[in-house]
A and B are shown apart, each in its own frame.
Chain A
Amino acid sequence: MAVIYIDNVPYEVKAGKNLLEACLSLGFDLPYFCWHPAMGSVGACRQCAVKLFKDDQDTKGRLVMSCMESVRDNLYCSIEDTTAKAFRSQVIEWLMTNHPHDCAVCDEGGSCHLQDMTVMTGHAYRRFNYKKRTYNNQYLGPLINHEMNRCIQCYRCVRFYKDYAGGKDLDVFAAHNNVYFGRATDGVLENEFSGNLAEVCPTGVFTDKTLKEHYTRKWDLTMAPSICQHCSLGCNIIAGERYGELRQITNRYNGDVNGYFICDRGRFGYEYVNSLNRIQHPLIRSHVPEAVNRETLFDHLKPLLSGKVIGVGSPRASLESNFALRQLVGENQFFSGVPETTAEMMEIILSVFNTGDVRIPSMKETEEADVVLILGEDLNNSAPRLALSVRQAVRNNPVEVANTINIPAWHDAALRELVQSEKGDCFIAYPVITKLDELASGTYYISPDEIARLGYAIANFLDPQASAVPDLQGNMQGHAVLIGNSLQKAKNPLIVTGVSLQNPSIIKAAAAIAAALGEGDRKAMLAVVVPDCNSMGLAMMNAPSILNSTALSTIGSPDTLIILENDLFSISQEAQISEILDRSTNIIVLDHLHNPTSARADIVIPVGTFSEADGTLVNNEGRAQAYFQVYMPKNENLRESWRWLSDLKNLRDGTTDANNVTPHDLIRQLADKMPQFTGADQAMPTADLRIKDQKIPREPHRYSGRTAMNANLDVSEPKPPSDPDTPLSFTMEGYKGLQPAPLNSFFWSPGWNSNQSVHKYQMEVGGALYGGNPGVRLFNHINPGDRSYMNGIPPRFKPDKENWEMLPLPHLFGSEALSSLSKGIAELSPQPYVAINSMDAESLNVDEGSILQVIIEGVQYELPVKIKPELPARTAGLPYNLQELTGIKWPAHGQLVKG
């Protein structure tokens, strides 16, 4: 701690920070542009100037950039000093000389850091009357809009894109008064995190192009805290609506999870909510017309619920909905709707986590690793935000030196100069090249079984008690020793693995390494990527997979099969799914969108997506996190799955709930029934939470048009919808102060309209939110001793030309079904292909682009060849889960025939 004096008032602040961070943490409004809490300082924009004095006697002082000044004991400075103030307002006046002043038509307007800083510094009158320099804008793809004239040359965009996210195609050109930020030529931005430019750029140069399609100012959005639904990491987001349409996703800071950044799948994947393919009404197929009202639906449903009813849960439905289904059908009739191998892998993951042999890191903690080993994951495509964390982690080793020569951690310019291209160790074993390979000190392009064997060999090197791997290929032992040595020397090693390659042995091997690496408080970190946003939550409910052969014998021929938010035809072969569906007399599907499974249903019930429902999800690290309904849909049929299912239970039992059932009630009941969920109810606040007797508003107090926006339908203002389920209100009415962290509907503070206001919500800049970062970590219930994951070394991989090993290769865009329905994401998704190596192509006598017949269990696909020279022999990569390639039962083998 250090005592500093700001305008002669002493404050105790944390040493090691810079003065700007310290001032902001203390609540001062000090303007800045180039500094970013996650990216540190470069001192480029000169906006954060303060007066610094030698001591308490010094009256003259000198101007310094607060972002470049280390906090130290007895530092005297002044924010209010007239010279400093004048300087700051002049800086902004210069920055604004070429600015187009087009706020009225700028998408940033109303959530613009430049507007806020201009007001803050008091620059209100334009004296510069000359011609402004203007630029041509570029086409940057369907997701990001470019409007270069608004640039104020803070350099944040390139610092984020190139330095932080490793992008290669955005840069800065020219100098002086003519600086240009863009690509060399028009074209789609290639980096997975390009959407963050919209938040990192303090002006309207980079903005969300999907928002433009249905533009709304931030102050006119109804917003709610939410959780990204598009992979297992559970990044925190804010979702905004107007006129019954979901319009924007922005990052919601969570210091333990996503911090300041999310990936493009998460930011731009929301448009399925507005899809024309949404199920709008309950449908009874045997009824004319099919679409019915609730009463008819219930009349029709009642008899179907009394016989033998089987429920199929979903890895993309909330805990509440899955639990409500389980309650309806009963524990033994509840199955999970995940592929068999995934279920097996999830079971292994849970048992590893439950042993407590490894440390399960939060995403923030993964950034603290100094050596990283990735076994069988292409993170940029399967868990994108984690790839960004790994990118930061490899800098930790070289940055260590900085401490010894007194370079503070926030001094980005100096650190980058010091580190240059030095990196800590990172090893990646995966069948094809991944984007992170450029960081890696070792890459191993090997088949899934060989990845597992490499893993086991490392474990055996670290802990000779672990079984040795027989029949190791060539120099594999050498690689294992190299990696093992590096991991052993590491202070904070991180092993990353996951289910993407559908190979259970990889998970076991990764766990064996992590367990061998450390014990007690030196446990090694094991991060695991799982498929969907609630895969972990569903797995923790311990229901067997519906596709499991023993499950099939249990279900026999049910009267009714209820399928919750799950397109079964996308997870396994059509024949297998049909076989299950055919067993049941009646099929009820609850889902958002029409899909092949709903097409087979006798009854279809429309349900709310994450924006029309509240719920709790458990992410890959076992963190339970709540998301909240954003708006009340006009269509009363779009209800939460859990509400429909609770109603169905009452319908069958002839009971009525005395009170409205809330998501919190459901989670509490869940935790009562299954102790592994103890604490999960803390993530979802009780519905009766009030602050100063008020609810928490979903709308900023400047929300406009409320009395008029529906005047075309009804001139009298309708009663606003109420929310009996959560402490949030659907209007701007409610508590205006700081919201509790899990209930941050939006970040706003007087004078801070943009997302930069997030520091007002943090206990210290870049630290935890007031009240702690949201989310509750489960997995405290340790069941030591079970080390069965140590066994099961697969035999050596043998290339087989009659039976190719098919490899599911995930893609950021295209591999996740819901986000693929967004227009821009669909445009950027790859075309189907089959990837093979050059030698195999030669032996099949095909070239890049030739058509191959790929036959998997009798199903034939015609796919163009993509040559990936690094692929192991006789393995063929298929883009995972593309719309045209769903319904494959993984892991898969097949034949390749020239056709």
Chain B
Amino acid sequence: MLRVTETEHVDFSSELLSKFGEIVKRYPEGKHKAALLPILHLVQAEYGWLSPASMERVAGYLDLKPIEVYEVATFYTMFFLRPQGKYVLEVCRTGPCCLVGAEKIMEHLENKLGVKEGEVTADGQFSWRGVECLAACGMGPVLQIGPEYTFHENLTSESVDQLLVDLKNKDLSI
């Protein structure tokens, strides 16, 4: 279930809308629902997450009921249904990584960033969460950092601290 609290109005830019148009054209007449997934990706790339208002707009655009968009958006874990930090740290929490300390890494992140899983730091820079297997079981614990999805293996508290520092510096250097 979505906690639909947001009522703010979303207006897609004409650029975004023309990209939607391109995508819809790929599918046969009457099968425009198939364009939903790629369009949601575009929306997330633009806004950083899928707000209920933006999903409703997508529904309107594709002539679907909003519930049909929610159904799809909630199914895929890579769609964010809440605002995220600029960097999303995703720690593998599947069995093998947990055996070698993934839970400790997550605890460390929680303390270090001062936010719980799924929340955003006050400066809007970071959020973190546990995810399913990242397919590097031999190198655990591992995490990936969106939206670029850089990959980091054999994590320790120290290497995670370093990562955070690097990310902050990277921002400063721009």
Instruction: List the interface of chain A (C-beta within 8 A of B).
Output: 135-136, 138, 168-169, 171-176, 180, 182-185, 421
Contact = CB atoms under 8 A, between A and B. Distances in A.
B65 interface: yes
B172 interface: no
Nearest to A137: B1
Contacts of B67: 168-169, 171, 183-184
13 contacts: A138-B1, A171-B71, A173-B1, A173-B70, A173-B71, A173-B75, A174-B74, A175-B74, A175-B77, A180-B1, A184-B1, A184-B4, A184-B67
Given A168-B65, A175-B77, A421-B30, A185 B4 contact: yes
Contacts of A172: 71
Nearest to B76: A175
Interface in B82-100: none
A487 to B, nearest CB: 25
Interface in B56-72: 65-68, 70-71
B81 to A, nearest CB: 9
A174 B4 contact: no
B2 interface: yes
B70 A171 contact: yes
Contacts of A136: 1
Given A173-B2, A176-B132, A421-B30, 17 more contacts: A138-B1, A168-B67, A171-B67, A171-B68, A173-B70, A173-B71, A173-B75, A174-B74, A175-B74, A175-B75, A175-B77, A180-B1, A180-B74, A182-B1, A183-B1, A184-B2, A184-B66
Contacts of A175: 74-77
B163 to A, nearest CB: 27
Nearest to A183: B67
A184 B59 CA distance: 13
A600 B67 CA distance: 52
A29 to B, nearest CB: 35
A423 to B, nearest CB: 12
Contacts of A180: 1, 74
A184 to B, nearest CB: 5
Interface of B: 1-2, 4, 30, 65-68, 70-71, 74-77, 132
B75 A184 contact: no
Contact of B1 (A135, A169, A176, A421): A135
A180 B155 CA distance: 34
The 8 closest A-B pairs by CB, nearest first: A173-B74, A174-B74, A184-B67, A171-B71, A175-B75, A171-B67, A180-B1, A182-B1
Contacts of A184: 1-2, 4, 66-67, 70
A176 B1 CA distance: 14
Nearest to B68: A171
A135 B1 CA distance: 9
B170 to A, nearest CB: 33
Contacts of A168: 65, 67
Contacts of A174: 74-75
Contacts of A169: 65, 67
Nearest to B70: A184
Contacts of A171: 67-68, 70-71
Chain A CB within 10 Å — which of B66, B67, B76, B77 has the most? B67
A173 B79 CA distance: 13
Contacts of B68: 171
A174 B132 CA distance: 15
Contacts of B71: 171-173
Contacts of B65: 168-169
Contacts of B1: 135-136, 138, 173, 180, 182-185
A175 B78 CA distance: 12
A130 B75 CA distance: 24
A131 to B, nearest CB: 15
A185 B6 CA distance: 13
Chain A CB within 10 Å — which of B1, B65, B66, B71 has the most? B1
A134 to B, nearest CB: 12
Chain B CB within 10 Å — which of A136, A171, A176 has the most? A171
B34 to A, nearest CB: 11
Contacts of B4: 184-185
A305 to B, nearest CB: 62
Contacts of B2: 173, 184-185
Nearest to A420: B31
Nearest to A178: B74
Chain B CB within 10 Å — which of A168, A176, A180, A184 has the most? A184
B28 to A, nearest CB: 11
B36 to A, nearest CB: 14
Nearest to B56: A184
Chain B CB within 10 Å — which of A135, A169, A173, A175 has the most? A173
Nearest to A175: B75
A183 B66 CA distance: 11
Contacts of B70: 171, 173, 184
Contacts of A176: 132
Nearest to A158: B71
A173 B132 CA distance: 18
A176 B133 CA distance: 13
Nearest to B73: A173
A421 B76 CA distance: 24
Contacts of A185: 1-2, 4
A173 B71 CA distance: 5
B94 to A, nearest CB: 12
A262 to B, nearest CB: 25
Nearest to B2: A184
Nearest to A174: B74
A180 B1 CA distance: 6
A462 to B, nearest CB: 31
A315 B68 CA distance: 44
A417 to B, nearest CB: 13
Nearest to A181: B1
A153 to B, nearest CB: 13
Chain B CB within 10 Å — which of A136, A176, A185 has the most? A185
Contacts of B77: 175
Nearest to A170: B67
A167 to B, nearest CB: 10
Contacts of A421: 30
A169 B70 CA distance: 11
A135 B3 CA distance: 12
B35 to A, nearest CB: 15
Nearest to A173: B74
A169 B66 CA distance: 9
A439 to B, nearest CB: 15
B71 to A, nearest CB: 5
A136 B2 CA distance: 10
Nearest to A138: B1
B37 to A, nearest CB: 14
A103 B70 CA distance: 32
A398 to B, nearest CB: 14
B43 to A, nearest CB: 18
A183 B74 CA distance: 13
A176 B132 CA distance: 10
A136 B75 CA distance: 18
